[in-house]
Structure 1
Amino acid sequence: MSFKISSFAVLCALALQVTAQTLSITSLGAIGTGCAPGTVKARVNSDESISLSFSDFKAETSASGSISDSRVNCQLTLGVQVPSGYQFAFDQTALNAAYSAGSGVKLSSSTLYYFQGQLSQSLGSCAVAGPASSGQTTLINKFSPVTWSPCGQNSVVNLNTDLRADNGDTKNSGYISVRNSTDASFIWRKC
């Protein structure tokens, strides 16, 4: 099942089976410099994950490049309905990516998530230092510490992924790009 997402678009009543319980996603929106309106699609998977497909999510740096090209983000906002007696958290994101980095270029991906109304947040990140390249790889952002949703309550969770390409003091070029999709997986517990 695929859906196009525009800035703060609302998609109702998506359901995901979880440990004999159902997690309902009541709204879904995307905004950011890496996900212009109409460039993201979302799919809820049966393996307790959400897949986001990007058509233009890329950070790049060069001798003549701008800072805005080297730092991009996409924030996903999910309204969720959690079954009574359960909490969920994100375990990790897996970015299907491609990258190329000249000597001295650092590429990074990070994902931060938090539940609105709570102070805790979780961060996962990974980095690649040049010289390096890969036409297709999976970059894993494993969250630590894990932040749990309120017990059995409706809530809103924000999931913000950013890509950065930094050439430091060099004039070398590099890029990092999400190819096809990013998968965000859930974990569950009784509360």
Structure 2
Amino acid sequence: MKYAFSTLALAGVALSNPIPDSTAAPSSFKITNIVSGGSGCPQGSIDIDWTNQGVLPIRFGRDFTASVGPNVVADQSRKNCQINLGLEFSGGYQYAVYSADYAGWGNLDAGVQGTVKANYYFSGQQDQSSAAITLPGPFSGAYTKHDDVGVSVWSPCGSSANLNVNSEVALTPLGSSASGTLAATKESARFTNSLYIKWRQC
């Protein structure tokens, strides 16, 4: 199974298709605070640039790398990253994550399977939406994958909301002779998770 697609092409397709339950984006939007933590993203190790009112890209550093193999300790098989984004926007709106693109690099022996997944939710709310991909070995090289988020979870109505993104990369099985690395920094490229969001007035 091949996962090497063009990230820019995927972004164009996602934005050009009709977005259900959405209206035009608010006139203003900004990120006010970013807090990250976990084995895959110590505070200050991620980069989030607001490119427009429809795409929110998250770029991870080399800590967001899972590994398995004969000489790799078990806790390296899964890396987690919890991100809290403080967001402010024009009053009377709310938004939801409706799809996501993943891009990274992997080197998996036969029998090794990689999983990349993320849960999205807003502070103070119990409902979550999620997206995930799997990479079966043997696999070596860069990959991108577009996922539709099955359930839309909307932010509270108002002019601010704290979006939480709980991401992880994981490899199985443990304790075998096969080796694998997933989401490692490869040359100048880093693992990215681009979130596509939709807006509505409330």
- Give me the TM-score of the superposition, normalised by structure 2: 0.77
Q: Which runs of 5+ in 1 are unaligned?
A: 1-17
**CA deviations over 1:147-182 (Å, ceiling 9, x no partner):** 100112422121111000112563211111154233
2:60 is matched with 54
State the Cα distance separating 1:114 from its structure 2 match: 0.8
* Partner deviation per Cα, 1:52-74 (whole Å, 9 max, x = no partner): 22221211111221222110011
Aligned ranges 1:113-132 → 2 under 5 Å: 113-132=120-139
Moved over 4 A (4+): none
Deviation (angstroms), 1:47: 5.3
CA contact (8 A) 2:25 2:53 kept: no
Q: CA deviation at 1:20?
A: 4.6
Mapped pair 1:182 → 2:193: yes
Unaligned runs of 5+ in 2: 1-23
Q: What letter matches 1:189 in structure 2?
A: R
**1:32–1:100 Cα change, 3 Å:** same
Query: Which runs of structure 2 are paired with 1:4-15 in the superposition (5 Å)?
Result: none
C-alpha displacement of 1:190: 2.2
> Over residues 80-136 of structure 1, what are the superposed CA-to-partner deviations in whole Å (9 max), with x where a residue is unaligned?
224333210112232221112212111000010111111101111010111222x22
Among the aligned pairs, what percent are the same residue? 27
Q: Give the whole-Å Cα distance in 2 for the aligned partners of 1:81 and 1:20.
A: 10
Paired with 1:83 and 1:114, the residues of 2 have a C-alpha distance of 20
Distance between the aligned counterparts of 1:38 and 1:152, measured in 2? 28
Q: Which residue of 2 aligns with 1:6?
A: none
SS in 2 for 1:85: strand
Q: Is the 8 A contact 1:97 1:139 kept in 2?
A: no
Pick the aligned partner of 1:93 from 80, 87, 100. Answer: 100
Higher relative contact order (CA 8 A, sep 6+): 2
Alpha-carbon contact 1:105-1:168 (below 8 Å) kept:
no
Structure 1: how far apart are the matches of 2:26 and 2:120?
Answer: 25
Q: Is 1:111–1:141's contact at 8 Å kept on the other side of the alignment? A: no
Question: Are 1:110 and 1:141, in contact at CA under 8 Å, matched by a contact in 2?
Answer: no
The 5-angstrom pairing of residues 1-191 of structure 1 reads 19-46=25-52, 48-56=54-62, 57-133=64-140, 135-168=141-174, 170-177=176-183, 179-180=189-190, 181-191=192-202
Structure 1 or 2: more helix by fraction:
2
SS at match of 1:161: strand
Cα RMSD, aligned residues only: 2.0
TM-score (norm 1): 0.81
